[in-house]
Amino acid sequence: MKKFRFDHANKSWDRYKMFHKFNGAMCEFETGEVMVAANLQSHHRQMYDRYNIQVVSTTEPDCPSLYFDKECTELVTKAWLTQEGQQELAIDHEQKCAVALRYYYRWGKSSKPSVYLGSHVREACAYWSGAERMPVPLESIKVQQPNPEYRKKVQPVLNDEVIPAITAMWRLSDASNGHQYSVNKYKAKEKWLESSAQEIIDDILSEDSDYYRNEAMRSIAQSGFRLPRATTEVDFLYIKGEK
């Protein structure tokens, strides 16, 4: 985050019991601290030149290219950041790094046990203790890469044994009668890596209710499986160049 002059002329006190000033999603404090405030709305995702900080979703076209390393040699493919939907990030163009936004349902505590925030910033989605400093990571960025070992070992079992068996069961079931609407692929489980076809089938059929069991069979019979990915959680990703 770059240096800024605190806006004393328009400061407030009551909400945080500390002099502060809102600027869209950003809240600056007289102490020099800055946070991305809670209750973030989509229109708050923008560039804040005052701090050289960008709030962005990983699905948006203006999300910069992100890298695992500070030298920006290991590119993080965009699809690796959107497998379970968008992730909202704060991009610090001054320090050339990105952190994940912590969501509102975690107000009052950090998901990082070693991070302790002052009471005035306990609702922060992202936090900087001062200018020319790295942001404090409050949440991990999830990077979901393809898992070649899983694909090699489990996909043949799913395609050759599990899908035909489940499809046959589905066609013989009463639930298969009537209108057939399209469904999403069934998410294969990471724990199946060392499982046999019968163990996988038994696990699928152990769904909690008839409804979920039938929906699992419907998904597999109509659309097959979505393979799990190898998930890496990181505090920071990095960008190169200037905005």
Could you give the dihedral angle defined by the CA atoms of residues 25, 95, 229 and 74, in that order, rounded to the nearest 10 degrees?
150
The answer to whether residues 69 and 28 belong to one domain is yes
State the pLDDT at residue 31.
Answer: 96
What's the rounded Cα separation, in Å, for the pair 152 and 19?
58
Using the 3D structure, point to which of 109, 142, 175 is the last residue of a domain. Answer: 142
The answer to whether residues 204 and 156 belong to one domain is yes
What's the rounded Cα separation, in Å, for the pair 225 and 59?
23
Whether 238 maps to a domain, the answer reads no
Whether 241 maps to a domain, the answer reads no
Whether 236 maps to a domain, the answer reads no
Whether 169 maps to a domain, the answer reads yes
The answer to whether residues 132 and 21 belong to one domain is yes
State the pLDDT at residue 123.
Answer: 86
Whether 120 maps to a domain, the answer reads yes
The answer to whether residues 135 and 162 belong to one domain is no
How many structural domains comprise the chain?
A: 2
Using the 3D structure, point to which of 94, 109, 142 is the last residue of a domain. Answer: 142
The answer to whether residues 154 and 48 belong to one domain is no
C-alpha distance from residue 16 to each of 27, 112, 118, 214 (Å) = 11, 22, 10, 51
The answer to whether residues 220 and 166 belong to one domain is yes
What's the rounded Cα separation, in Å, for the pair 60 and 86?
9
Residue among 211, 157, 163 nearest 186 (CA): 163
Whether 203 maps to a domain, the answer reads yes
Structural domain that includes position 181: 148-226
Length of the chain: 243
The answer to whether residues 30 and 117 belong to one domain is yes
The answer to whether residues 25 and 70 belong to one domain is yes
Using the 3D structure, point to which of 112, 142, 172 is the last residue of a domain. Answer: 142
The answer to whether residues 134 and 160 belong to one domain is no
Whether 234 maps to a domain, the answer reads no
Kindly give the confidence (pLDDT) of every residue in the chain, 243 residues in length, as a single tens digit, with 9 standing for 90 and above. Answer: 999 999 999 999 999 999 999 999 999 999 999 999 977 888 999 999 999 999 999 999 999 999 999 999 999 999 999 988 899 999 999 999 999 999 754 444 555 655 678 889 988 999 999 999 999 999 999 999 999 999 999 999 999 999 999 999 999 988 787 666 768 899 999 899 999 999 999 999 998 888 899 999 999 999 999 998 888 999 999 999 764
State the pLDDT at residue 219.
Answer: 94
The answer to whether residues 69 and 182 belong to one domain is no
The answer to whether residues 100 and 172 belong to one domain is no
Kindly provide the residue ranges of all beta strands, DSSP E only, lying in the chain, ordered along the sequence.
20-23, 26-29, 34-36, 47-48, 53-57, 66-67, 75-76, 88-92, 97-100, 126-128, 141-145, 186-187, 225-226, 230-234, 237-238
The answer to whether residues 178 and 87 belong to one domain is no
Whether 153 maps to a domain, the answer reads yes
